[in-house]
């Protein structure tokens, strides 16, 4: 566990069709966290540096491509309606497979991209619970084909997967806590006026932790 004065870097992986709230719920939390963690950095990454169009049409200028992305303590794969195409991108899959398991995370349907790499096979994981729009099945049902799934705020089986949409905020807070400790995490939650929401979501959904190399016999612990 690091001191608040220690450096860390969190990567955020984008692709065409990421839901804007997933970027706001990750990068926005990191930006606010720098008020108390001055050496916490972010690295927004895409297939190539340059503009990436999010769901809804918002363009984002991404500073890093796969080839020049800096090393990160953890890289978060965002979700959004563009996930099926991203999951078929050989360069993106290869980029993720180069990472150690404990350096990967996802929010929302980003877990389905991680599943496409094979890195979630036999692991515990979560994603968005509800079917939305024209989706024939919920993302959690789709993910169940590759992983041991459960509705949860966060599942940490070395690879961290977070629940859907606004829970990107909670997942990013969890990752900050994994690096800097729970007291620092809780301070960041207070700073963004999300401490009551974070506590309520933890109570309602729970954080499940099993950092083994796969899950055969259920979760070892549940943090409430």
Taking only the tens place, the pLDDT of each residue in 182-214 is 999 999 999 999 999 999 999 999 999 987 644
Rounded to an integer, the average pLDDT of 142-157 is: 97
The pTM for the full model equals 0.94
Looking at the predicted structure, is the pLDDT value of residue 178 above 90? yes
What's the distance, Cα to Cα, between the start and end of the chain in Å? 21
Rounded to an integer, the average pLDDT of 17-44 is: 98
Rounded to an integer, the average pLDDT of 37-58 is: 98
Q: Do residues 94 and 87 touch, judged by C-beta distance below 8 A?
A: no
Rg (CA), the chain: 16
Rounded to an integer, the average pLDDT of 96-104 is: 97
What ranges make up the beta strands (E) of 92-194?
A: 104-106, 124-125, 148-149, 154-157, 159-162
Residue recorded with tokens 């599943």 = 115
Both structure tokens of 199: 């506590």
Distances from the Cα of 186 to the Cα of 22, 107, 170, angstroms: 20, 20, 11
Helix count and strand count (H, E) for the chain: 8, 12
pLDDT computed for residue 215 by the predictor: 41
- Tell me whether residue 41 is exposed, middle or buried, using C-beta atoms within 10 angstroms of its C-beta: 0 to 12, 13 to 18, 19 or more: middle
Looking at the predicted structure, is the pLDDT value of residue 153 above 80? yes
């Amino acid at each position: 566990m690091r001191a608040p004065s220690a450096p860390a870097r969190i990567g955020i992986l984008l692709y065409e069709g990421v839901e804007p709230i997933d970027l706001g719920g990750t990068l926005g939390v990191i930006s606010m966290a720098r008020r108390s963690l001055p050496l916490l950095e972010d690295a927004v990454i895409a297939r190539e540096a340059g503009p990436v169009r999010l769901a809804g049409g918002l363009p984002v200028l991404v500073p890093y491509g796969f080839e020049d992305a800096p090393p990160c303590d953890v890289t978060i794969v965002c979700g959004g309606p563009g996930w099926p195409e991203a999951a078929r991108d050989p360069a993106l899959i290869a980029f993720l497979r180069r990472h150690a398991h404990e350096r990967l995370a996802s929010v929302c349907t980003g877990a389905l991209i991680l599943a496409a790499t094979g890195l979630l096979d036999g692991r515990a994981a979560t994603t968005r619970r509800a079917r939305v729009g024209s989706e024939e099945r919920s993302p959690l049902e789709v993910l169940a084909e590759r992983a041991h799934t459960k509705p949860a705020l966060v599942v940490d089986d070395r690879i961290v997967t977070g629940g859907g949409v606004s829970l990107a905020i909670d997942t990013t807070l969890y990752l900050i806590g994994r690096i800097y400790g729970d007291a620092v995490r809780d301070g960041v939650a207070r700073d963004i006026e999300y401490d009551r929401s974070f506590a309520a979501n933890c109570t309602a959904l729970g954080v499940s932790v099993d950092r083994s190399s796969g899950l055969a016999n259920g979760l070892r612990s549940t943090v409430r």
